[in-house]
Structure 1
């Protein structure tokens, strides 16, 4: 059948051959679905054949397995709900069939069936072994799984192909609890192994791990920590343990001589060496401190406080003597002011000496008052007038004025 073409025909469902498994309710009849399919570029088929790509059906029809549903399953057509058809027309784009597929009903039913079977299996195993729905294999810090196999091939005693599988289980719930169990296969293809479980209830990790190690030592004759170094050295009548290879984790506490373990230990030693050296240096530098009791420590503190008080008293005595030896100054000037006064006095003395050289004016002392200096100047002037019988020349007046100005600037 050719595809519908022409004006007003959409290509939303082009390349789709559509049919229905039966009445879908309301207006979803064969005629309406055929008309809607044609207007959107699809071909409507009256029967289900190998050319059909989509079959519209209800969940009830799918569960009932009507003839059209069986044919759709046989030819591998998409079995979808009518919502797929309606959403494709509304959004004008073909929708993903997986979201509307009725085959998901089978998938959900199958998943539910598998879950129920798993639960029943776990309950059955819990009666003699461990409920695997509630427990998982324990892994240590190195991510080593505590699920190991021990084998024995003792031809002399006829023990060939015997095997032990040891398990250390950890609970899924928190806080974690642990349980040790083992299976023994008497012959290579033994489908009914015997179960060894030392206790019925879970315990703490330390207890379960000790039971695991004790059982390992009982069957192999070597300790768990020596399993790597002594691998393959046990007698034939004992079980043999083959450590993991290919870089897989071997578990914590193993005395391994592999290159990986030696390299890791070397790196740890290199990192710890500087810290150990520093600690040793501090120990050598710090003096050995004897162990002191609480009573002796209190006694030492009291003695120390007394010594400090005595030192303070001795330090205060010299200061008092110095205070007594200080002169009693009338003006109570500070040391800083006294220093400035001495410097000014020295400066005035030098100024007076310069004046004596320049003007030959007698200055008795730098501390004379202004009045005394003026009187001396008047006396000198009268003496000069008496000797010469006349007033001094004007040429001598500038020197006299300079002298008087200098004397005025001095401070007593």
Structure 2
């Protein structure tokens, strides 16, 4: 006789992890947009033969469901369960079925990445998928190329911006920001996608008029979303570094070339995406323009959580003032998370955004990575370290400031001392 467990929430299909808000929206179908909620969910119920529970084909969904229920605080399928239980709850806890199932998932995770993962959901345990070192060094950035070969390419991001080795490009003038100074129709949606917190517009059409062009960009690009990378109480967490120095936090505003219809198509071209990077520095005063986002963080504490913000705002309010946007650095690179597509025209701005200490602390202390077994880890140090520049060059815009001499290259830096020696020779007595 075969033992079978049939698992379901409220008598329906096994849930999508963290999918209690907008799991079927367009934004939830792509990792760049919100974390890629896969469509291959077991339905209408997840039936797990007990003899193959540890290594069976349904185990990934089974463990995923357990984690999702714990994160969402859902009720058991019988309706009489305790909050956070998948199976009928006893008087003192979730019951022995729950304990056995969780033990099975923990053992599978301990045995190895392939035991439960494959390549299904970013809300699954980090084991077998990409993560940050603060979650598990075994799936951190140094191992991404083992999962996605493109992460080991020659044009990877982020990079260190060494201002002594930049090349000035006179064609890099002011970028034209369209729609940034208008409050868009609809609401901003804040999402914890398991790797970062992301801000997007609930309606796709609402973002079509938020675009960038000019400034040497190879086309016109419309905004898709923005997200953040930060450190921990003990260290800074920007992805790009400036003269080898890491700053407290970094914001990326992701744009897609309007000539492409889908993100997948855009990622197949070197000019497919344009990302604007902004450093943050800590200020003694609060940046009130970030109050709405910071206040919303408590509503997206767990992976998969999503909330529509109560008030809308102009995207330009999140940036440095307009007069300081002419100084930036440009290079060809990649996405900073798998699949690390080398399809990004990067623009990293020189002027940082100021943010209050308590506001930065909210990012570090409020958000969590996906549940790993019984461990709920704070979302900290969610950055990829700088990647080799190799043969690429980083260009400085017309408005960027110099540091350590000329921006044009090493041979020009020799000119001043040679000229000085020539001038001195005019005043020295002849031998």
Question: If the TM-score is normalised by the length of the shorter chain, which range does it land in?
Answer: under 0.3
Higher normalized contact order (CA 8 Å, seq sep 6+, divided by chain length): 2
Larger-gyration structure (1/2): 1
Bigger helix share: 1
Bigger strand share: 2
TM-score computed with the length of structure 1 as normaliser: 0.19
